[in-house]
Amino acid sequence: MSADVGSQSPPGSTSKQQVMPIPQVLALAEQHRAAGRLDVAQHLCQQILRAQPRNAEALHLLGITLHQGGQPAAAIDVVTRAIAANASVPLYHSNLGEMLRLAGRAEEAVAAGSRAVALQPNFTQALNNLGIAYYDRGEWDEAIVYYRRALAVDPGFAEAHNNLGNAFRAQKKYPEAIAAYHRALQLKPGYSDAYNNLGTAIRDQKKPKDAEEPYRKAMALKPRDPSILNNLALTLMDLDRPDEALSLLQQSIAVDPRNHSTFTYFASAYLEKDMFDEARAACERALSLKPDDPDALNIMGQILFEQGQSEAALASFEKALALKPDLSDAYNNMGNTLKELGRFDEARDAYFKALAIDPKATGVLLNLADAKKFAPGDPHLLTLEALAADLAALSEEEQMQLHFALGKAYGDLGRHEDSFRHLLQGNALKRRTVDYNEGATAQFFDRIRAVFTPELIAKQTGHGDPSRLPIFILGMPRSGTTLVEQVLASHRKVFGAGEIKDLDIVVQSVRTDGIHEAPYPDYVTAFGPEQLRQFGAQYVKRLGAYSTTAERITNKMPSNFFYVGLIHLALPHARIIHTRRDPIDTCVSCFSKLFSGAQNYSYELGELGRYYRRYDELMAHWRRVLPADAMLEVPYEELVEDFDPLARRIVDYCGLEWDDACLAFHETKRPVRTASASQVRRPIFKSSVGRWRAYQGLLEPLIRELPLEREATAAPP
């Protein structure tokens, strides 16, 4: 170049201008750009372009500087002008391609990158960038071709190894992906992106314990990277550590307050903690930032489902699927919602669609198994058996779900030994994941009996809130509580709220009221009449949110049997219905279910039997210390054997006139969210009575722990 231009002083400076050759000015501009002094670099480039408007090098450098300064559209325009001035430079085409890719113009990016590679076939950075452009278009095979071409030229190109891993991970070729990430890390030990991607490849295989370490290493290198913080938070949620996840998400959102994905993850963490209001607020924030995000819409559907807004939940799932038709989890969630509503054909269809997208989704297969009855030759049984033939390819969670699904399938087919073998394996896997302290549980049962003495009951009776709104239906899970609630909820004056946690919430709130520091049941000894009244009124207020017109509202949380004495004192006009079922049938039914809630005692036969015995002792205690009419006992076997008179007794006990709709309970249209959702949509059936006998040779660890008098009456003739 023969022309000279004036050298640059910073804008606004009055320093005397010096004349320098253009190559020196370009070199000076690049120094300023590299140092982050972008305004100075731009000014130097513009000086050159005033003298030589088609100077390709100045145009290219100006474009790079504009892009670095956050002006992508202007940068693309200027680099395009550089190529128009000199189309023979591969670097210009490569950089234009990367700018176009980052602007979401993937097709143009591929075209530009291809021109760069055509000009210089061994240009490693251009080959790598072209691979990334194909990756963004979802063309994994093409991406792999260009990453490998880059590595053939430069085997030590760590970024290309990392990108190759990403393409393999997108194809679910996890061993190849993990090998590529490890190679990248061998070449570049402080490569945080490779650690982050390695963690994700491991997490994609549903191995969150193993994924935590690479995420931690990535975070040590980049402690304020939102992507790393979010990925580690998701892993901690997988490990059932939502509080730690929330802490990381707080750090992430402090760095990037407008990251819609972070708010979606907040919603998931709050949902895991049953903090539905907080989950909904976080999800609404995510959708305000990106209204068409299918993942946020899917989470919103789950929140609405948990809040009892089933129709709104379905609408949210449908909107998510309209945006992302291959979102298998949304179909699965839709199936669960439809099953709750009693729309079983539609539920199965939703599960089928989820499986069409991901045929090996064990969670969907388990949900489908619960929604259908298997017959010989069932294609889904064949799928389950094929998965069982290669258990090593499944995560522990997938194995657990598979075993429970096969337990249900073989039970339907009358293959009881096969069924129980899988139930034993599924329960053993589940037991390893839960924190169940049997000793502390036993002490809790003992403490309740010690606190609620006849003397305390006599002293405190006659106080509490006078409301007649509450009905409690309680007992062991799988003992008939859902059936009794469905009978009552069919009455025109009753609202069935289902397994709601409101009583437990009020019980726990006393501990945090700043006055009573002892836990339940100990604080009850310090209650006076006013505290009992306030306790009852607080529960009634919460209950009223479910219906403003019903005369009675049911709560069928089975574990409310812990609170029977407190209910009697704080809500003296509440109705308490205790459902009882053959103890072995009850426990076998519990053992056959992978519960969504915390029935952590039910995954080992001995522990389950001992828990049942303690429950049985507590219910006997309540019968001893409370008035005879404080609680109605409903034997499940009597209810299914002679339904009409016992149903009438239940309705009468609740102070209601008879309603014939209670006999047609299976026709009542209402959401039912329990493991018995499908059973209560059918007329009374007796096949579940004595179900345990099919497994009687396999139940010795359970039976030896059950109450002796129960065991004697349940033994085979």
pLDDT recorded at residue 680: 44
Q: What is the pLDDT of residues 139-186, one digit of tens each?
A: 999 999 999 999 999 999 999 999 999 999 999 999 999 999 999 999
The pLDDT of 200-211, averaged and rounded, is 93
Question: Is pLDDT above 90 for 527?
Answer: yes
Closest CA to 238 of 277, 275, 199: 199
631/568 Cα distance (integer angstroms): 9
CA atoms within a 13 Å half-sphere pointing along the CA-CB vector of 146: 27
Average pLDDT, the chain: 91
Domain of 58, in residue numbers: 4-218
The CATH number linked to 170 is 1.25.40.10
In this structure, is residue 674 part of a structural domain? yes
Q: How many structural domains is the chain composed of?
A: 2
Q: Provide the token pair at 425.
A: 């394996």
In this structure, is residue 373 part of a structural domain? no
In this structure, is residue 281 part of a structural domain? no
Domain end position, chosen among 218, 234, 261: 218
In this structure, is residue 140 part of a structural domain? yes
Buried b (16+ CB within 10 A) or exposed e, 359-388: eebbbbbbbbbbbbebeeebebbebbeebb
Q: What is the pLDDT of residues 550-609, one digit of tens each?
A: 999 999 999 999 999 999 999 999 999 999 999 999 999 999 999 876 789 999 999 999
Q: What is the pLDDT of residues 630-670, one digit of tens each?
A: 999 999 999 989 899 999 999 999 999 999 999 887 766 54
Q: Is 304 helix (H, G, I), strand (E, B) or coil?
A: helix
Closest CA to 143 of 121, 115, 166: 166
Pseudo-torsion of CA 465, 468, 470, 471, nearest 10°? 130
pLDDT recorded at residue 307: 86
In this structure, is residue 574 part of a structural domain? yes
Question: Is pLDDT above 70 for 264?
Answer: yes
362/348 Cα distance (integer angstroms): 15
pLDDT recorded at residue 715: 36
Neighbours of 545 (CB within 10 A): 10
Compute CA distances 454 → 366, 467, 625, whole Å.
47, 24, 5
Question: Is pLDDT above 60 for 261?
Answer: yes
pLDDT recorded at residue 253: 97
Q: What is the pLDDT of residues 345-369, one digit of tens each?
A: 999 999 999 999 999 999 999 999 9
In this structure, is residue 383 part of a structural domain? no
pLDDT band at 685 (very low <50, low <70, confident <90, very high): low
Domain end position, chosen among 202, 218, 234: 218
Q: What is the pLDDT of residues 24-62, one digit of tens each?
A: 999 999 999 999 999 999 999 999 999 999 999 999 999
pLDDT band at 325 (very low <50, low <70, confident <90, very high): very high
Query: What is the pTM for the complete model shown?
Result: 0.81
Q: Which residue has the higher pLDDT, 467 or 711?
A: 467
Contact 558/493 with Cβ under 8 angstroms?
no
pLDDT recorded at residue 411: 94
pLDDT band at 14 (very low <50, low <70, confident <90, very high): very low
351/374 Cα distance (integer angstroms): 15
Closest CA to 574 of 422, 466, 417: 466
In this structure, is residue 382 part of a structural domain? no
Rounded to an integer, what is the distance from CA 621 to the centroid of its chain?
Answer: 39
pLDDT recorded at residue 433: 87
Question: Is pLDDT above 70 for 714?
Answer: no
The CATH number linked to 544 is 3.40.50.300
Rounded to an integer, what is the distance from CA 661 to the centroid of its chain?
Answer: 37
Domain end position, chosen among 203, 218, 233: 218
97/79 Cα distance (integer angstroms): 10
Give the helix/strand (H/E) hosting 175.
Answer: helix 174-187
pLDDT recorded at residue 707: 83
In this structure, is residue 228 part of a structural domain? no
Q: How far apart are the first and last CA of the chain?
A: 107
409/400 Cα distance (integer angstroms): 14
